[in-house]
């Protein structure tokens, strides 16, 4: 058989194999879609994900059912997404914790934060805020630092578990400020807020998406933020209070199982870019202190690769080893 004939046959075979995927992308969706939020209802991740999925549902004309699958700092729900069929009917809300920080802490992580998923788009970013209740024994950051430094190993600091970025940054804050606190792990931020208010735990490094209202109502104290926050404009930055090099932010994004047809990923990205960057979309996200940031699938994947290395390097400096 002549070589050019073989090449034509090969091209035809490749086109035939690609055709079903293209057809699926064009016809999709024909039934309801589910979106896995790997944390409990009531926190910032849940709120951000639900806003994005409402816009996606309206644009596609199909229900998008949000399912909360909490546990292990968001890794249980993320693993469900990684193992689902890549047919466009399962998506997940990825975060800095589940897809950048988790590999730093867990040797047995059941997925690779990059290769086990199709990156679709980033949704937005938010600052971190140190919040506290009566057990903090202070109403401003310098006083809290001084009091906590004087009683090492006695002040309880809540976290969403040792596989989250909040936990890693809390350890960094302790090192910078010369503190030693007790880690009190929770499954979700919504469960922490009552315990902060009743004095069960003293503080938590949170994102303002879930706690800004409690700070504005003076039910919790906002000690400092990693960057200025429109949701809590009266809370100073760590930098302005002398805690330098503590300015990181938290991101949210959309992922799907590996092998999702590119046409579906691109369609979801375009829908969310149009919705979340519109004036109403920006307003809804900014109301929960999320700054809209929409990226292409390739750019979002590159962010996950870069930050996974960044947090691994930080963990090495802090002497934190995966377990």
| DSSP secondary structure of 141-178 | HHHHHHHHHTSTT-SEEEES-TTSHHHHHHHHHHHHHT
Instruction: Show which of 179, 213, 241 is a domain's final residue.
Output: 241
Q: 171 lies in a domain?
A: yes
Average pLDDT of the residues in 163-175 = 90
CATH number of the structural domain spanning residue 63: 3.40.190.150
Give pLDDT, residue 321.
Answer: 82
Which of 74-78, 105-109, 269-273, 301-305: highest mean pLDDT?
A: 269-273
Give pLDDT, residue 158.
Answer: 97
Give pLDDT, residue 261.
Answer: 97
Q: Indicate whether 116 and 137 sit together in one domain.
A: no
Cβ–Cβ < 8 Å for 283, 142: no
Check whether 73 has a pLDDT greater than 80: no
Check whether 15 has a pLDDT greater than 50: no
Q: Indicate whether 225 and 301 sit together in one domain.
A: no
Give pLDDT, residue 61.
Answer: 96
Cβ–Cβ < 8 Å for 206, 164: no
Check whether 4 has a pLDDT greater than 60: no
| DSSP secondary structure of 262-318 | HHHHHHHHHHHHHHHTSHHHHHHHHHTT-EE----HHHHHHHHHHHHHHHHHHHHHH
Average pLDDT of the residues in 31-57 = 94
In sequence order, the β-bridge partners of residue 222 are 131
Give pLDDT, residue 25.
Answer: 59
Q: Which domain covers residue 294, as residue numbers?
A: 31-126+250-318
Q: Indicate whether 92 and 175 sit together in one domain.
A: no
Give pLDDT, residue 23.
Answer: 39
| Secondary structure element (H or E) that encloses residue 16, with its range | helix 3-27
Split into its structural domains, the chain has a count of: 2
Average pLDDT of the residues in 245-251 = 91
Give pLDDT, residue 24.
Answer: 55
Q: Indicate whether 91 and 140 sit together in one domain.
A: no
Cβ–Cβ < 8 Å for 254, 120: yes
How far is the C-alpha of 204 from the C-alpha of 160, rounded, in Å? Answer: 9
Q: Indicate whether 157 and 225 sit together in one domain.
A: yes
Q: 271 lies in a domain?
A: yes
Cβ–Cβ < 8 Å for 101, 163: yes
Check whether 11 has a pLDDT greater than 50: no
Average pLDDT of the residues in 244-271 = 95
Judged by DSSP in three states, 55 sits in helix
Check whether 10 has a pLDDT greater than 50: no
Q: Indicate whether 108 and 148 sit together in one domain.
A: no
Q: What is the pTM of this model?
A: 0.77
Q: 10 lies in a domain?
A: no
Q: Indicate whether 194 and 220 sit together in one domain.
A: yes
Q: Indicate whether 189 and 215 sit together in one domain.
A: yes
Average pLDDT of the residues in 263-292 = 94
Q: 121 lies in a domain?
A: yes
Check whether 20 has a pLDDT greater than 70: no
How far is the C-alpha of 75 from the C-alpha of 70, rounded, in Å? Answer: 8
Between 22-26, 74-78, 268-272, 273-277, the lowest mean confidence (pLDDT) is in: 22-26
Tens of pLDDT along 74-113? Answer: 889 999 999 999 999 999 999 988 888 888 878 888 999 8
Which has the closest alpha carbon to 138: 21, 223, 244?
Answer: 223
Q: 313 lies in a domain?
A: yes
Look up residue 245 and give its two tokens: 């090099």
């Amino acid at each position: 058989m002549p070589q050019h004939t073989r090449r034509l046959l090969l091209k035809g075979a490749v086109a035939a194999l690609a055709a079903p995927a293209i057809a699926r992308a064009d016809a999709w969706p024909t039934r309801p879609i589910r979106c896995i939020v790997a944390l409990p209802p009531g926190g910032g991740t849940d709120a951000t994900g639900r806003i994005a999925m409402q816009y996606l549902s309206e644009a596609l004309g199909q229900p998008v059912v949000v399912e909360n699958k909490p546990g292990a700092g968001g890794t249980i729900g993320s693993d469900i997404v990684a193992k689902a069929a890549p047919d466009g009917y399962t998506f997940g809300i990825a975060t800095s914790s589940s897809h950048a920080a988790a590999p730093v802490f867990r040797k047995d992580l059941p997925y690779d934060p990059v290769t086990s998923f199709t990156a679709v788009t980033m949704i937005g970013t938010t600052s971190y805020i140190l919040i506290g209740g009566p057990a903090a024994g202070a109403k401003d950051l310098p006083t809290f630092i001084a009091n906590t430094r004087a009683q090492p190993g006695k002040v309880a600091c809540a976290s969403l578990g040792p596989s989250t970025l909040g936990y890693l940054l809390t350890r960094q804050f302790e090192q910078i400020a010369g503190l030693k606190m007790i880690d009190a792990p929770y499954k979700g931020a919504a469960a922490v807020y009552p315990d902060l208010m009743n004095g069960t735990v003293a503080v938590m490094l949170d994102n303002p998406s879930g706690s800004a209202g409690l700070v504005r109502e003076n039910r919790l104290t906002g000690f400092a933020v990693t960057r200025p926050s429109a949701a809590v404009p009266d809370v100073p930055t760590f930098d302005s209070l002398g805690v330098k090099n503590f300015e990181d932010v938290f991101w949210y994004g959309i992922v799907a199982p590996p092998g999702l047809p590119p046409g579906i990923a691109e369609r979801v990205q375009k829908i969310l870019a149009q919705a979340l960057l519109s004036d109403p979309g920006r307003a809804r996200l900014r109301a929960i202190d999320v700054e809209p940031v929409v990226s292409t699938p390739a750019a979002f994947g590159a962010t996950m690769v870069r930050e996974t290395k960044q947090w691994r390097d930080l963990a090495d400096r802090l002497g934190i080893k995966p377990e």
